[in-house]
Structure 1
Amino acid sequence: MQFISIISIPVTDQQVAKAFYIKFGFELMIENPFQGESKWIQLSLPGAQTSVTLVNWFPDLKPGSIQGFVIKCDDLDATIAELQAKGITVGNADKTPWGRFATVKDPDGNSWSLHGK
């Protein structure tokens, strides 16, 4: 094994979620018809090996159920300011013994933790 390739993010509206993730800093890799009305929408952060797909076809994977994924940032304060300037709500940066963290939620409530200095 080498690395996690794709993580499925459960969403209600794939197009709304895609717009959010692009605004958040992800880049669109693929968007193609998939199952019925659904599309295969795959995005990644620039230079990352791991990507995400915005899914609505897994009945047991509920929109808003993803929590705890961590995105490393070089400068947490600069990242927070950049996201807020784009209109994205970011939680307060909490200091822990293992670094500073701030939370961002997508339109469905899936939660991402930003980690940095």
Structure 2
Amino acid sequence: MDMKLEVVILPVSDVDRAKDFYAGRLGWRLDADFPIEDGYRIVQVTPPGSACSVIFGEGLTGQQAGTLHGLQLTVTDIVKAQEELASCGVEVSGPFRDETGAFHHAGDARRVPGAHPERASYGTFAAFEDPDGNAWFLQEVTERAPGR
């Protein structure tokens, strides 16, 4: 049976500020904004080209705002993705790679500045945060691993 990740719940402190950041500044598709009742509101946005959406709002999670770290967006050109985010006023760190040559460590430990030397698929990253401090990574994937 297929199991597809379709929604990630993002803890935010100010729903309207998050909506402005994701749907306004970043231009992610605004799928829904349902103010169900006092203290319960659902906002859903979807990154361009993604099958997985992000939901935030009120009464959705017990997580503290800004505590979700390690969300990842896959891009085919890390430099172009950084330029697009920067043009929206988003500060992006990178590109960088991990000194192990594999996935990245938590935070900025063991980062090596610059793209992977051979621009190997899956080897180059960049990072940014939303206004609450939820941390996102970009990973450059130019050729998918077999079976993906």
What TM-score comes out, normalization by structure 1 length?
0.89
Shift of 1:62: 0.6
Relative CO higher for 1 or 2, CA cutoff 8 Å, sep ≥ 6? 1
Q: So what's the TM-score if we normalise by structure 2?
A: 0.72
CA distance in 1: counterparts of 2:35 and 2:97, whole angstroms: 43
> Match for 2:10: what amino acid?
I
**How far is the alpha carbon of 1:58 from its aligned partner?**
4.6
Q: Give the total of aligned pairs.
A: 117
Q: Which residue of 2 aligns with 1:11?
A: 12
Determine the structure 1 residue equivalent to 2:110. Answer: none
CA distance in 1, matches of 2:75, 2:133: 21
Post-superposition CA distance 1:47-73 (Å, at most 9, x none): 322111113325631100001111001
Asked if 1:113 is matched to 2:115, the reply is no
Residues in 2 aligned to 1:59 and 1:50: alpha-carbon distance in whole angstroms = 18
Pairs within 5 Å for 1:73-112: 73-96=75-98, 97-98=101-102, 99-112=123-136
Q: Which runs of 5+ in 2 are unaligned?
A: 103-122, 142-148
Q: Is the 8 A contact 2:40 2:60 kept in 1?
A: no
- Largest Rg, 1 or 2: 2
- Percent identical residues: 27
* AA of the residue aligned to 2:15: Q
Q: Return the alpha-carbon distance in structure 1 between the equivalents of residues 27 and 136 of structure 2.
A: 13
SS at match of 1:53: strand
